[in-house]
Amino acid sequence: MTNESVPEREPYLRAMIDPPGGNPFPQRHLLGIEGLPPEQIQYLLDVAEGYAAAQRSRQFRPKLRGLTQINLFFEASTRTLMSFEIAGKRLGMDTVSFSVDTSSIKKGETLLDTAQTLNAMRPDVLVVRHGRSGAVSLLAQKMNCAVINAGDGQHEHPTQALLDALTIRRRKGRIHGLTIAICGDILHSRVARSNIHLLSAMGARVRVVAPPTLLPYECMRLGAEVFTNMEDGLKGCDVVMMLRLQKERMQGAFLPSEREFFHFYGLTEDKLKPAKPDVLVMHPGPMNRGVEIATSVADNLQHSAIEEQVEMGVAVRMGCLDVLTRHLHDQTEADQ
């Protein structure tokens, strides 16, 4: 973006284009993990770590008071939508969540017209989830505020990868050098894609484990090691990340049956045996118990980090809201 394309009335955008004194996160939006340098990922994780501590001690400062956050969700969500809303509120933002079911989109309004309408209301952050890959970055081009991708089709889900990384870093003390297996429906998973980018950038050895029908060709290009059986794929792993079968994105027959999938790829205590004894088990949720993960593994607190992932979700989203609006509140803080 050039300075010329920024309207005169948006002085804060100028600060973002030309950040004074070396901004540690000089991105205007958070649309994906692909291409983010490791030091910027590290910075987001460090800021989120501070919010994780603040949450545990229940010390919230309304640092973003007066700023408006709009959550625009075109797809179902429990964790992501709620945690973005809680994150904004804990920072003192005015948060508005937009239900697509009751909006004018049902009356035929296009995505770009909706974007222009929301832009005219001058939000400071727009959080978007959409069923089409690329829809969020298209919309970002029409917005004068920061845009956060809360999941676009099967493309990326950057805040999920960040919260997964923060959980791993807290539980294992590092990401670099760990062997991490991502298992299940890799083909349709934006969580898998964002995690492969992030974990490889941070120096982990990433494996993907799935039936051949659920493995995208690009896995190898992305630097992941490919396995089609759980025993080999989980051998010596520090972390095992399970994924939901994304049935809503499957057009055609990818699997004989869910029962067969569970038999070969569902995570059970037996299948976990080749992994390291202190292996960490993760799942982004929503879980389908008895399809990709057995209840006994999901609820085994010795290994499972699933609840901590949800907790870190709020911390990571607070961090992202804070960092992407720095140009607005740093000035306010200095004035106080």
Q: Can you give the binding site for ligand NCD, defined by CB under 6 A?
A: 79-80, 151, 157, 160, 190-191, 244, 284-285
Edge-to-edge strand list for the sheet holding 94-99 = 94-99, 68-73, 125-130, 146-152
95 or 160: CB nearest ligand NCD: 160
Q: Nearest CA to 250 among 217, 284, 213, 207?
A: 213
169 or 244: CB nearest ligand NCD: 244
Which residue's CB comes closest to ligand NCD?
A: 244
Q: Which residues pair with 206 in a beta bridge?
A: 180
Shortest Å distance, C-beta 190 to ligand NCD:
5
Shortest Å distance, C-beta 19 to ligand NCD:
30
274 or 285: CB nearest ligand NCD: 285
Shortest Å distance, C-beta 120 to ligand NCD:
29
Shortest Å distance, C-beta 67 to ligand NCD:
24
Query: Is the backbone of residue 29 left (phi > 0), alpha (psi -120 to 50) or beta?
Result: beta
244 or 317: CB nearest ligand NCD: 244
Shortest Å distance, C-beta 321 to ligand NCD:
17
129 or 205: CB nearest ligand NCD: 129
Tell me how far apart the alpha carbons of residues 172 and 170 are, in angstroms, rounded to a whole number.
6
Say how many residues make up the chain.
336
Per DSSP, the three-state class of 42 is helix
* CA-CA-CA-CA dihedral for 33, 216, 237, 272, to nearest 10: 130
